Amino acid sequence: MIEVVGVEKRFGSTTALAGVDLTVRPGELVGLLGHNGAGKSTLMKLLAGQLQPSAGTVRVGGVDVGADPGEARRRLGYVPEEPALWEYLSAREFLEFVVSVRGRGDVEAALAVTGLGADADRLVREYSQGMRRKTAIAAAVVARPPAVVLDEALNGLDPPSAVRVRDHLRELCAEGAAVLLSTHVLETVERLADRVVLMTRGRVVEDVRVAELGDGGLEALFRERIRPD
């Protein structure tokens, strides 16, 4: 479960989030959309414990992120926009590290998600951007946490990898994980998500089930509800 209740975030005189409420229930995959500067990344960072809310509460897997950041991290798999990896480890060694600090996980199963094959034993410094992204996604899900947050994480993946990752995310949801996916690719959300949340100027302006989208689909809704400044 991911719960954001009445969250505000101010930076000096700038309001990045102005009272956001958002819930991702167990087994649900929610797509988060909005133009640049809408507040998506700020929300992601609050969930990952990299910022603290000016008001409101952020809970991951039932744990208040501000009160118990250590336990919240254990219950969250987070993929930042820029993959954070160690250049002089292979993907396999990196995942072994993650498994050892998280205390659980199956390295081989996570490697299968990446489709890296023999490349899993090459150093990360030799990887392409797509391979790095796949390794970061594998690190976030290797311990099968109850909540997963992905910030633009599917961008730049080749089609077979994107399909594998999507299937794995659905599999995690089937096991009861709550997944929040931020992206600019409308098609990804339409094909993958159960629900879509639109943000603009630090507010949630639409929260709708994908199955209930009208004739124009998500693009029509986006054009109607999201207007860049």
Partner 1 sequence: MNPYRLAARRQRAAHRRVHGLAGWVGLLLPVLAGAAAGRLAPAPFFDPGRDVAAGLADIGGRVAVLLAAGVALAAYQAVVRGPDRGVVDLHPVDGPSWFDARLEEVARGSVPWLLAALAFVHPLGVGTAAYAVVALGLVLGWFVAVCAGVGVNTVAPALGLDPRWAPVLDGIRGPNPRLQAALLYAPGVALTVAGLAALAGTAGAAALVEGRPEAWEMLVPLVVGAGVVAAARRRAQEVVRYPVVLGEIEAAWAAREQGEEARHVYLDWVVRLVPAGWRRDLTRELRHLWRTQRGWSLAAWAFAALAALESWSGGAQVGVAGVAIVALGAVRAGAEDPPWLDAWLDLGPWRRAAARAGSVALHASPVVLGTGVGFLHGHPAPLVAAAAALVLVALLSAGVSVALRARAVPVYLPFAVLVWGVLS
Q: What DSSP element (H or E) covers 6?
A: strand 2-11
Of 21, 25, 86, 129, the residue at the interface with partner 1 (CB under 8 A) is: 86
Q: Which residues contact 3 (CB under 8 A, 6 or more apart)?
A: 22, 23, 57, 58, 59, 60
Q: How many residues bind partner 1 (CB under 8 A)?
A: 35
102 binds partner 1 (CB under 8 A): yes
Asked if 58 and 4 count as a contact pair (C-beta separation under 8 A), the reply is yes
Smallest separation (angstroms) from partner 1 to the CB of 63: 12
Q: Mark the segment that binds partner 1 (CB under 8 A) among 30-38, 77-85, 162-170, 198-206.
A: 77-85
Q: Is the distance from CB of 209 to CB of 194 less than 8 angstroms? A: yes
d(CA 161, CA 173): 18
Q: By C-beta, is 1 or 48 nearer to partner 1? A: 48
Q: Which range touches partner 1 (CB under 8 A), out of 20-28, 67-75, 179-187, 198-206? A: 67-75
Q: Which of 49, 115, 146, 202 binds partner 1 (CB under 8 A)?
A: 49
* Residue 64 beta carbon to partner 1: minimum distance, rounded to whole angstroms: 13
Contact between 26 and partner 1 per CB under 8 A: no
Distance of alpha carbon 177 from alpha carbon 104, whole angstroms: 16
For residue 212, give the DSSP letter.
Answer: G
Does 8 bind partner 1 (CB under 8 A)? Our answer is no
Contact with partner 1 (CB under 8 A) among 31, 80, 115, 146: 80
Q: Specify the residue, 10 or 225, whose C-beta has the smaller distance to partner 1.
A: 10
Q: Regarding beta strands 2-11 and 147-151, do their DSSP bridges make them parallel or antiparallel, or are they unpaired?
A: unpaired
Single residue of 36, 70, 212, 229 touching partner 1 by CB under 8 A: 70
Determine if 69 is a binding residue for partner 1 (CB under 8 A): yes
User: Of 1, 8, 144, which Cα lies nearest the Cα of 59?
Assistant: 1
Q: Reduce the secondary structure of 145-186 to three states and give it as a string.
A: CCEEEEECCCCCCCHHHHHHHHHHHHHHHHCCCEEEEECCCH
Which of residues 97 and 207 has its CB atom nearest to partner 1 in the complex?
A: 97
Give the whole-angstrom CA distance, residue 175 versus residue 68: 25
Position 169 contacts partner 1 (CB under 8 A): no
- Near partner 1 by CB under 8 A: residue from 29, 60, 85, 165: 85
Please give the backbone phi and psi of residue 170, each rounded to the nearest 5 degrees, phi first: -65, -40
Q: Which residues bind partner 1 (CB under 8 A)?
A: 11-14, 45, 48-52, 66, 69-71, 73-74, 78, 80, 84-89, 93, 97-98, 100-103, 123, 125, 139-140
